[in-house]
Chains A and B, each alone.
Chain A
């Protein structure tokens, strides 16, 4: 099971390449990693979800965290979001605040 993620900052854009799952097992580590970019002028957070097959509420919390706690109310973008994950976003109503991009 691939539970890794990669975070990199390019100018004002923070890019997070997600693994297959974002769950209680790895979301806290991602949250800690995002914390390092607090108040560093991040204007956009891009989640590359190409490999992502499963997300739990702890994963959704990291998205809310990125929006609320990085500072500056960054734009949130999701690349290649699977249908099932999109439907979880819909249940929580957060899909309205995310730009979905297919690449």
Chain B
């Protein structure tokens, strides 16, 4: 398993996303790369922007595990307890002019991954995503 530790994370979302998607485990998922990139960005931006108070020196640990059939990425932060899966999902049946502007990131995360799981353990938010991978190169 690959473990990445990021600290500080404030205003570093872009850098962190690029480091995660550049790992061999993620970049070798050719067919799933777009979805993994998108989901990593949504989750990392959320932690970097909202998990910690403005002056806190927050961290984000990312663990990546890849088997022939599946990739698992786990995001751990020590910020405020927050389960993004409890967030109200945007109503995708509403016309564009009536849409609310928030909640799209977590909606896309759930739609693109095979499983998304949240737990709070000790002092950490732990969000685990899994995606089945094809062997197409």
Using a CB–CB cutoff of 8 Å, the interface residues on chain A facing chain B are: 23-25, 54-58, 60-61, 63-65, 67-68, 73, 76, 84, 88, 91-94, 97-98
Contact = CB atoms under 8 A, between A and B. Distances in A.
8 contacts: A23-B14, A24-B45, A55-B38, A57-B38, A64-B101, A68-B99, A84-B34, A97-B95
Contact of B99 (A56, A64, A91): A64
Please classify how large the interface on chain B is, using the bins under 10, 10 to 19, 20 to 34, 35 or more. Answer: 20 to 34
A29 to B, nearest CB: 13
- Please give me the 6 A-B residue pairs with the lowest Cβ-Cβ distance, nearest first: A93-B92, A97-B96, A57-B104, A57-B105, A91-B111, A67-B96
A49 B108 CA distance: 20
Given A55-B38, A57-B42, 8 more contacts: A54-B38, A57-B38, A61-B104, A68-B99, A76-B96, A91-B107, A91-B112, A94-B99
